[in-house]
Structure 1
Amino acid sequence: MMKELLLRDYRPITRLRLEEHCPGRPKYPAIDGHAHFGRLGLGEHYEEAYDTGEAVAAYRELGIERAVNLDGESGPYLDRMLKKMEGYEDFFILFGNVEVERLDDAGFDGYVYRTLCESKRKGVRGLKFWKNLSLGILDQTGSYIPLNDRRLSPVWQYAAQLGMPVLLHVGDPEAFFSPVTPQNERYEELQAHPEWSFCREGLYSFEELMEQQEQMVADNPETVFIIAHFGSWAENLKEVARWMDTYPNFNVDIAERIAELGRQPYSSRRFFEKYSDRIIFGTDSMPGHMLQRINYRFLETEDEYFDYSYEGVPPQGRWKIYGLGLQDSVLEKIYSKNIQRILSWPCTTGQKVL
């Protein structure tokens, strides 16, 4: 009689005999458009977590010419990050933010403008906002702040005037907003990390977040948005394509979504080919947590049915993925040309940048 087996212990080894290609470097020099080198990824004492020179060398060894550091923040936190990056300004592209918690202050508009001007003067190239914008921060009434809240308009408008693209992490995988039942495809992951579930009373539903995200982009056509994690909805490429078709200022990055994209390779390849000018290479990597090589394999090869976890990172669901085998012209845009074009977006304000 066979012994009872728990699902978490079931780790079958495929009997398929398939070709494997594991590029150590990208086919074209790359810019990692979604990386963390500060508090957001490594905690309050990030300065002690890594040596800057060693981290940069590790990225360059993987063929990454530059990386967008999304952890610039603002004020004294920005100064801390600038000090940590000293001597390697040719590698880092820094994104910052503003303290959204202040949006009920009478002087919020002026605070945003002064902060963005100061940040730009210090070298910040764009803005980054995390999912706590709509799923964590409360206003003075104790309510969560919708993405399309008019009180946030100064942030998006001044970003547009100052030529600063905005990268937002809006929502996590759709399954994280569904009940944690045996029907949830991320059941094991959510059992291991119950704090990752957003299926609880008082929070916006996934559908509400997607509606807010679209309205925010629609209300600010002059602001260039990069919606992280494939537009927040890699599970629904038809809807992301509709946003791409409707809003010229809507761009996406691929960070931490090859698990979703790689299990729908035909639809994904068509999407990548059609919208090759609007997709940014990014990995959500950080020093000591390097995810580039599995992304190279996904983008460049036609490998079939392979694991997408890398260097001890557990899988996000019980499936394997397929490579897209993208053509050279598409790869070159995704690896660097698209983010370079976005970062060259001009400042349009008539006011002097301080």
Structure 2
Amino acid sequence: MTVETDHAEWRRNLDVIDMHTHVDAKRVDEAVEIMDRIGLEKVVDITPSTGERFDRKMEAYEKYPDRFDMFGGIDFDGFGEDGWLDRELDRLERTAGRGAVGIKIYKALGLQYEDPSGNQVPVDDERIAPLLEKAADLDLVVAFHIADPKAFFEPLEPENERWEELSENPDWWWGDRKEHSYDWWQLIRQLENVIERHSETTILGVHWGCAAEEVGYVADVMRDNPNYIVDISARVPEIGRHRPDLVHDVFVEFQDRIMFGTDLGVRDPLMLGSPQDFDPDLDDTEEFYDAHWRYFETDEEGIDHPTPIQGDWTVDAIDLPREVLRKFYVENARRHLGV
């Protein structure tokens, strides 16, 4: 590693887990090469895979049985029709039986999926409730990626602070209410309803609870709901805009419920938190992780965040204590995901 911090040598002796990645089944050898270069003991593929894709990944990861774990998904094709729920309950059984650590529900819920009447399905639709209850019975974490950054709901114009990223990924813009029924806060509140209703289910809000612009709000939801955990994947650029003492204190308060993840995508091309307008190599990947270490392990001000395409600003580091870092990098993923 290139970045030296007070914790760097200590961290190199930890079994660091990146619990939010996406690994192509054909690229597991490349993923292991990256992991060994960066100093990662294990990665968790959190792609909501179903069917043949799920099976291919499971089989590919068997080559390195101690280096990979993965999530499954729910197939919303036919949602609300006769037989859909039974089919997906059976899928959960098979997903758990194959050794998945959880299921992930993608942001198309609330933004794109429709019921038989042609209405967009809200995140807190009660027709999904039996799946969340079944997941709790099967000891599966349910991860939600809903909404997206606030800027993705704002006018699509050069003045938008995420214009570069949206230009690279135009299908990530959700600002047309005629096409997408719910605005950002509506989706966030719908997720909060789910968390409150399903207190027996461990619910993971990826990307800092999908609301990195509202660090205090996410902390309030965590205070009210012990079943709620979050990761920081692809959101250091956003949480880093908040006062470092505030973010530091939230990490300390919830040191048992925040997990390290990056949204690394081992595919063609590599994805470092978000699709970029260039083809990253191993050196770029190391710099990507170095930016994470610097943010969490130092008190530097005005530093570059990991993913420049996500915003042209700097962040102030939060200098977490070692006991918090140990939980963040390793122990919380083991506790909550069983990896």
If the length of structure 1 is used for normalisation, what is the TM-score?
A: 0.82
Q: Return the match for 1:324 from 303, 318, 322.
A: 318
Structure 2 residue matching 1:36: 3-state secondary structure: strand
State percent identity of aligned pairs: 32
- The yes-or-no answer on 1:282 pairing with 2:279 is no
> Given the alignment, which residue of 34, 45, 55 partners 2:20?
34
Residues 134 and 180 (structure 1), Cα distance of their counterparts in 2 relative to 1, 3 Å cut: same
Residue 23 of structure 2 aligns to a residue whose secondary structure is coil
- Write the deviation string for residues 200-229 of structure 1: whole angstroms up to 9, x where unpaired: 023110011011110011111111011011
Identify the residue that residue 335 of structure 1 maps to in structure 2. 329
Q: CA deviation at 1:25?
A: 8.9
Q: Whole-Å Cα distance in 2 between the matches of residues 182 and 36 of structure 1? A: 30
| Equivalent residues of 1:148, 1:216 under 8 A apart | yes
* 1:33 shift after superposition: 0.8
**Aligned with 1:293 (options 290, 293, 309):** 290
Contact 1:25–1:63, Cα closer than 8 Å, also in 2: no
1:245 maps to 223
Contact 1:307/1:320 (8 A) holds in 2 = yes
**Residue number in structure 2 paired with 1:351:** none
Aligned-residue offset at 1:58: 1.6
Residue type of the partner of 2:46?
A: L
Q: Is the 8 A contact 1:29 1:64 kept in 2?
A: yes
Following superposition, the deviation at residue 171 of structure 1 comes to 1.7
Pick the aligned partner of 1:230 from 195, 198, 208: 208
Runs of 4+ in 1 over 6 A off after TM superposition: none
Find the residue that maps to 1:132 and give its secondary structure. Answer: coil
Asked if residue 58 in structure 1 is aligned to residue 37 in structure 2, the reply is: no
Give distance in 1, aligned partners of 2:245 and 2:167: 31
Alpha-carbon distance in 2 for matches of 1:175, 1:337? 33
Cα distance per residue 1:158-206 (max 9 Å; x no partner): 1011000011111211111122356533244435544322110231100
Q: What is the root-mean-square deviation of aligned Cα atoms in Å?
A: 2.2
Q: 2:245 aligned with 1:266, yes or no? A: yes
Gap change, CA 1:250 and 1:72, over 3 Å in 2: closer
Using the TM superposition, give the Cα deviation of residue 149 of structure 1 relative to its aligned residue in structure 2, in angstroms.
Answer: 0.3
Structure 1 match to 2:299: 302
Instruction: Report the secondary structure of 1:102's partner residue.
Output: coil
Count of paired positions: 313
Which residue pairs with 1:195 in the alignment?
171
Larger strand share, 1 or 2: 2
Query: Which residue in the other structure is 1:4 paired with?
Result: none
Residue among 147, 171, 188 paired with 1:210? 188
Question: Which residue identity is paired with 2:22?
Answer: H
The Cα of 1:127 is off from its aligned counterpart by 0.6
Q: Deviation per CA, 1:43-77, whole angstroms, max 9, x where unpaired?
A: xxx63xx3x22321321321211111123622222
How far, CA to CA, are the matches of 2:293 and 2:310 in structure 1? 19
1: distance between equivalents of 2:219 and 2:175? 26
Structure 1 residues not aligned, in runs of 5+: 1-19, 39-45, 346-354
Residues 101 and 338, structure 2, Cα contact 8 Å, conserved in 1: no
Distance in 1 separating the partners of 2:309 and 2:295:
15
Q: Give the whole-Å Cα distance in 2 for the aligned partners of 1:120 and 1:188.
A: 39
Q: How does 1:17-166 map to 2 (within 5 A)?
A: 21=4, 26=11, 28-38=14-24, 47=26, 50=27, 52-71=28-47, 73-166=49-142
- What letter is aligned with 1:212? Q
Displacement of 1:322 after TM fit?
1.6
**TM-score, scaled relative to structure 2:** 0.86
User: Does the C-alpha gap of structure 1 residues 68 and 191 become closer, same or farther in structure 2, counting only changes over 3 Å?
Assistant: closer
Deviation of 1:104 (Å): 1.3
Deviations 1:223-280 (A, max 9, x none): 1011011011111111111101111111110000000122222221111111111101
Cα distance 1:24–1:166, how it changes in 2: closer, same or farther (>3 A)?
A: farther
**How big is the shift at 1:102?**
3.0
